[in-house]
Protein backbone atom coordinates (compact mmCIF):
# COMPACT_ATOMS: atom_id res chain seq x y z
CA UNK A 1 0.00 0.00 0.00
CA UNK A 2 1.35 3.44 -0.90
CA UNK A 3 1.81 6.16 1.71
CA UNK A 4 -0.93 8.20 0.03
CA UNK A 5 -3.32 5.23 0.29
CA UNK A 6 -2.37 4.66 3.92
CA UNK A 7 -3.04 8.33 4.73
CA UNK A 8 -6.49 8.04 3.14
CA UNK A 9 -7.15 4.82 5.06
CA UNK A 10 -6.17 6.58 8.30
CA UNK A 11 -8.32 9.60 7.45
CA UNK A 12 -5.28 11.89 7.49
CA UNK A 13 -4.53 14.72 5.11
CA UNK A 14 -1.09 16.31 5.21
CA UNK A 15 -1.39 20.01 6.02
CA UNK A 16 -0.41 22.86 3.74
CA UNK A 17 2.55 24.63 5.29
CA UNK A 18 3.00 28.38 5.16
CA UNK A 19 6.36 29.75 4.07
CA UNK A 20 8.88 29.91 6.92
CA UNK A 21 8.67 33.17 8.85
CA UNK A 22 12.45 33.51 9.13
CA UNK A 23 15.59 32.63 7.17
CA UNK A 24 15.40 28.83 6.80
CA UNK A 25 13.66 26.15 4.75
CA UNK A 26 11.03 23.70 6.04
CA UNK A 27 13.05 20.71 4.82
CA UNK A 28 16.25 20.14 2.90
CA UNK A 29 17.53 17.24 0.82
CA UNK A 30 21.22 16.38 0.72
CA UNK A 31 21.99 13.38 -1.43
CA UNK A 32 19.83 10.53 -0.23
CA UNK A 33 19.00 12.24 3.08
CA UNK A 34 16.25 14.68 3.98
CA UNK A 35 16.28 16.82 7.09
CA UNK A 36 13.11 18.51 8.24
CA UNK A 37 13.27 21.70 10.22
CA UNK A 38 11.66 21.64 13.62
CA UNK A 39 7.88 21.89 13.30
CA UNK A 40 5.41 22.88 15.98
CA UNK A 41 1.71 21.92 16.23
CA UNK A 42 0.41 24.53 13.81
CA UNK A 43 -2.50 24.60 11.42
CA UNK A 44 -2.39 27.33 8.77
CA UNK A 45 0.53 28.91 10.60
CA UNK A 46 -1.32 29.16 13.94
CA UNK A 47 -0.43 27.17 17.04
CA UNK A 48 -3.22 24.83 18.06
CA UNK A 49 -2.12 24.73 21.71
CA UNK A 50 0.25 26.77 23.87
CA UNK A 51 1.86 26.12 27.21
CA UNK A 52 3.99 23.66 29.09
CA UNK A 53 3.49 20.00 29.76
CA UNK A 54 2.90 19.40 33.41
CA UNK A 55 1.24 22.81 33.89
CA UNK A 56 -1.01 24.11 31.08
CA UNK A 57 -1.00 21.11 28.72
CA UNK A 58 -2.07 17.55 29.55
CA UNK A 59 -0.13 14.47 28.46
CA UNK A 60 -2.89 13.61 25.97
CA UNK A 61 -2.84 17.15 24.53
CA UNK A 62 0.94 16.92 24.27
CA UNK A 63 0.72 13.62 22.39
CA UNK A 64 -1.83 15.10 19.97
CA UNK A 65 0.44 18.13 19.50
CA UNK A 66 3.36 15.78 18.75
CA UNK A 67 1.23 14.00 16.14
CA UNK A 68 0.49 17.30 14.44
CA UNK A 69 4.18 18.22 14.53
CA UNK A 70 5.12 15.02 12.72
CA UNK A 71 2.41 15.61 10.09
CA UNK A 72 3.89 19.06 9.50
CA UNK A 73 7.35 17.48 9.19
CA UNK A 74 6.04 14.96 6.65
CA UNK A 75 4.31 17.75 4.71
CA UNK A 76 7.62 19.64 4.59
CA UNK A 77 9.46 16.52 3.41
CA UNK A 78 6.80 15.84 0.77
CA UNK A 79 7.24 19.42 -0.43
CA UNK A 80 10.90 18.64 -1.14
CA UNK A 81 10.79 15.06 -2.44
CA UNK A 82 7.24 14.85 -3.81
CA UNK A 83 6.22 11.26 -3.19
CA UNK A 84 6.60 9.99 0.39
CA UNK A 85 6.98 6.47 -1.04
CA UNK A 86 10.58 7.53 -1.70
CA UNK A 87 11.24 7.35 2.06
CA UNK A 88 13.41 4.31 2.74
CA UNK A 89 13.68 4.93 6.47
CA UNK A 90 13.08 7.49 9.18
CA UNK A 91 16.52 7.48 10.75
CA UNK A 92 15.98 9.90 13.64
CA UNK A 93 13.11 11.74 15.28
CA UNK A 94 13.97 14.42 17.79
CA UNK A 95 11.21 15.76 20.00
CA UNK A 96 11.37 18.84 22.18
CA UNK A 97 8.86 19.29 24.99
CA UNK A 98 8.25 22.59 26.82
CA UNK A 99 8.20 21.26 30.37
CA UNK A 100 7.09 22.67 33.69
CA UNK A 101 9.44 22.00 36.62
CA UNK A 102 9.19 18.38 37.67
CA UNK A 103 7.64 17.13 34.41
CA UNK A 104 9.51 13.97 33.41
CA UNK A 105 7.26 12.29 30.81
CA UNK A 106 8.85 13.78 27.68
CA UNK A 107 9.24 10.31 26.08
CA UNK A 108 5.50 9.64 26.53
CA UNK A 109 4.66 12.95 24.84
CA UNK A 110 6.95 12.29 21.87
CA UNK A 111 5.58 8.77 21.57
CA UNK A 112 2.53 10.41 19.96
CA UNK A 113 4.78 11.40 17.04
CA UNK A 114 6.64 8.08 16.98
CA UNK A 115 3.46 6.01 16.91
CA UNK A 116 1.90 8.07 14.12
CA UNK A 117 4.94 8.07 11.83
CA UNK A 118 5.20 4.30 12.22
CA UNK A 119 1.47 3.95 11.54
CA UNK A 120 1.86 5.98 8.34
CA UNK A 121 5.16 4.55 7.05
CA UNK A 122 5.08 1.07 8.59
CA UNK A 123 8.51 -0.49 9.13
CA UNK A 124 10.08 2.42 7.22
CA UNK A 125 8.86 4.67 10.04
CA UNK A 126 10.74 2.89 12.85
CA UNK A 127 13.43 5.25 14.08
CA UNK A 128 15.98 6.23 16.66
CA UNK A 129 14.65 8.97 18.92
CA UNK A 130 15.55 11.66 21.38
CA UNK A 131 12.97 13.34 23.65
CA UNK A 132 14.18 16.48 25.39
CA UNK A 133 12.57 18.73 27.98
CA UNK A 134 13.09 22.47 27.55
CA UNK A 135 12.02 25.59 29.40
CA UNK A 136 10.49 27.27 26.32
CA UNK A 137 9.76 26.64 22.66
CA UNK A 138 9.04 29.13 19.86
CA UNK A 139 5.79 31.05 20.24
CA UNK A 140 4.88 29.17 23.41
CA UNK A 141 4.51 25.84 21.59
CA UNK A 142 4.36 22.81 23.88
CA UNK A 143 6.13 20.47 21.42
CA UNK A 144 8.46 20.63 18.43
CA UNK A 145 9.64 17.72 16.25
CA UNK A 146 12.26 17.31 13.53
CA UNK A 147 13.17 14.34 11.34
CA UNK A 148 16.12 12.85 9.49
CA UNK A 149 15.15 10.47 6.70
CA UNK A 150 16.92 8.28 4.12
CA UNK A 151 15.54 8.06 0.58
CA UNK A 152 15.44 5.22 -1.89
Host domain of residue 107? 3-15+32-151
Specify the number of domains making up the chain. 1
> The domain that contains 80 carries what CATH number?
3.30.1330.40
Whether 24 is covered by a domain: the verdict is: no
CB 48 within 8 A of CB 42: yes
Average of pLDDT values for 127-146?
97
Predicted TM-score (pTM) of the model is: 0.96
In a domain, 21, yes or no: no
How confident is the model at residue 17, as a pLDDT? Answer: 83
pLDDT digits (tens, 9 = 90+) for 112-133: 999 999 999 999 999 999 999 9
Say how far apart CA 141 and CA 135 lie, in whole Å.
11
Beta pairing, strands 128-134 & 87-98: parallel
Amino acid sequence: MSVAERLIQLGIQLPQLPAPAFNYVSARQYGSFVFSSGHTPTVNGELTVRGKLGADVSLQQGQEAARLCVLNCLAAVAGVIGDLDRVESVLKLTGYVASAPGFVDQPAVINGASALIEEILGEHGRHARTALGLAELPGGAPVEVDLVLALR
